[in-house]
Structure 1
Amino acid sequence: MRLINTHTGEFRTFWDSQRPHYAILSHTWGDEEVSYLDYLFLTSNLPVTSVGVIHALLKTPRADSAGIRKIRNCCKLAKSRGYDWVWIDTCCIDQSSSAELSEAINSMWAWYRDAAECYVYLVDVSARSQEDIAPDNLRSEATQATREQFRKARWFERGWTLQELLAPRKELFCDNTWEVIAEKSDIGEELSKITKIPLAFLDGTVPASDNKLCSIAMRMSWVSHRQTTRIEDMAYCMLGLFDVHMPLIYGEGRKAFMRLQLEILKKSDDDSIYAWKAPFDSSGLLATWPTAFADSGNMIQIVFPQDPTPWIPPTMTSIGLELRGRYRRDDPHQDSVDLRHGVHTIHTSIPTGDGAALVMYCGPRSAWQRPITHYTKHQEQVTALVLNLRRIGSTWQRVNCRRLQFIQDTMRTPAKIEAYNIFYVEQQGL
């Protein structure tokens, strides 16, 4: 991890076990950002290589640019708060190295989580007059104009800043003069209203990366209204949020989001990944873009801990997504075989002629305080998502894409291992 010394302005690289306490910057990029090579050139530390010389001759970054002022002001703030080191994404990553960029993006969540303090620089929130300054509590004392600017800040619309809001333990919000106007712990309710993220995930009560307490659909809904400059970054900015790692392939476009979902499926049994809707007559089971989850922020995973059978994750094959739907089989001669070789998944299939309905174990929450429903009886009525499939040759397609349909389903402790159907659902976007 490459850090900037707040006293000398020089870079130094630390291995994970050697990292000192450091501050970190969260901001929105502008037109005059300073890259790694720019910063080396401006600090007279550009290596004498053909790449360095060409960069200096072609670009010649200005020492008074908005980007270099941002770096210096961030270092000044960190130094005033007792920190000798700071990390800034624009210049601390050598983006000319694809390996370094990939490592940084896959490590970003951990870097923001481990920082002693995170400074959010809101360039579009104006400084207040002296009589209106209330740096410790934006919610109750700042002017209405400042609060309105805060709510409409571009920082709340960008994809990368979602993890920069959720991961840090301590976060300070600064206006465009670098005056601290609020601390995250003091304005949690205001942040919750702006972002639609439940307060429990903002104040540290529940980690937002917890796969059991925060459903996939809920997290997808948080990013559904955000944007990134590069298409692929809509997927890459969520790696830390879902605790997955994958190689970066800039140029793959929307396929990056499909790859992200396939990585999530490898480690999570949360059916809410299918709880999306889009204006399609038919589609695969996976969404083609995060906007499909815009109305899925109230979905929770339904957990049935008494089920003794293993979960088999869906896998992508050459003919579509393979997933298994169980059904009841009343064949006593198969009991011994089932007990030894039976397979069970969390999906219940209901044959309907040329179609089928898959009951997914996720549903709407009545209150976020109960993000998981536990079952202690032999059976329980739940409100569960159902997806209608239609056979098209040897594969299937989802046909109720425009809405989320729910049914009252009876979850029960299986009396025996059940039989299953295998569905291959053709998937768009690959």
Structure 2
Amino acid sequence: MTYTERVAADLKARYADQPEFVQAATEVLDSIQPALDAHPEYEQVALLERLVEPERVIQFRVPWVDDSGTVQVNRGYRVEYNSAIGPYKGGLRFHPSVNLGILKFLGFEQIFKNSLTTLPIGGGKGGADFDPKGKSDREVMAFCQSFMTELQRHIGADTDVPAGDIGVGAREIGFMYGQYKRIRDEFTGVLTGKGLSYGGSLCRTQATGYGLVYFVETLLNDRSDSFDGKTVVVSGAGNVAIYAIEKAQFLGAKVVTCSDSTGWVYDPDGIDVALLKDVKEVRRERLTAYAEARPSAEYHEGTGVWSVPCDIALPCATQNELDLDDAKALVANGCTVVGEGANMPTTRSATAYLQENGVAFCPGKASNAGGVAVSALEMSQDSERLSWTFEEVDDRLKKIMAGIYANASKAALDAGKPGDLVVGANIAGFLKVADAMYAQGIV
């Protein structure tokens, strides 16, 4: 049994109640053995055993009062996973599905994603089982203030810098930042995704979606191809999906689908981005409102995005949304590229099927790193007390995504797996963190 196999087997036995975390950790461990063969010293210092365990897990109650005067209690978390290359960095997710296993999976992925950006940020993740949907602004504010009252003692600009994620947008970040500033009496870059009037960065809203498209565009260009004239299917209708659609269509593609938690839209004329933004960002309504306002659009209940014929598929909703049957449908309908915009949206069996059938697969820890990359750029702007133009940030983002692709491609080639970006991204991300951990001793 190899070193990675032994560590993976131990994880499966110890954390059987955390399937998403075990899935994410095993996927990395299964692909980095070539790096460990070249560095036997890592096993001697139990580097993997330390890597797979968070440095710190914080769990706390979040009491708040709703509009009817009833006291509600939610559970809050922060998983500070690895700080070998910089302060913990990763989003806060507010969603009923949030639990420790989900956050450990996201935090573990974040270690390598952040490493791939080449920026000095470690990995972390947090959130709560609170659902902001259907809540008034006052209720969301009450929850965010209570959440930050506890979280503030564990974070800081040089310690842990959270950002947004599912359920945490500009509104939630603003409420939490205001409470942090009130309690700590300091104006500092402790959160990213802030409003432009108080230290936020231009292009942060667009960053994950734009970055995904820049990564896929780099892959296509590497193959003497482009987005121009391609048919693209996208899942999701949140921040990542909206701006992936916008950038793909700017580059000449036609994006024909998007989805939310209740259904999906097929629009053969191409998704109307302005209408989608109005429905989702302004009115906060379901996609039925998009279909009602767009004569060319068809609304379907449930799932089904991956049944639509396409050249490129961009899963941008949530984990494990694209399964083996979906992968078979994509291959049968001629899909040639899958780029992950969400965190681990493709199951392991689906990923294997896509790769076995010649589909270029872009793993999320590489292809959706644009959001955290611009978050790190926001940290830099906050530290220097200045702001860059949209074009400056966008240009830096594009160069970072091209660099991630180049590093992942080279690592895959060096490992004897040319074109396998899963292996390449895992090894490239791992080696930087492992080198830092080794240099810093047994800590």
Question: TM class by shorter-chain length?
Answer: under 0.3
Higher strand share: 1
Please identify which structure carries the higher helix content: 2
Task: Compute the TM-score of the two structures, normalised by the length of structure 2.
Answer: 0.24
Structure with greater Cα Rg = 1
Question: Could you tell me the TM-score, scaled by structure 1's length?
Answer: 0.25
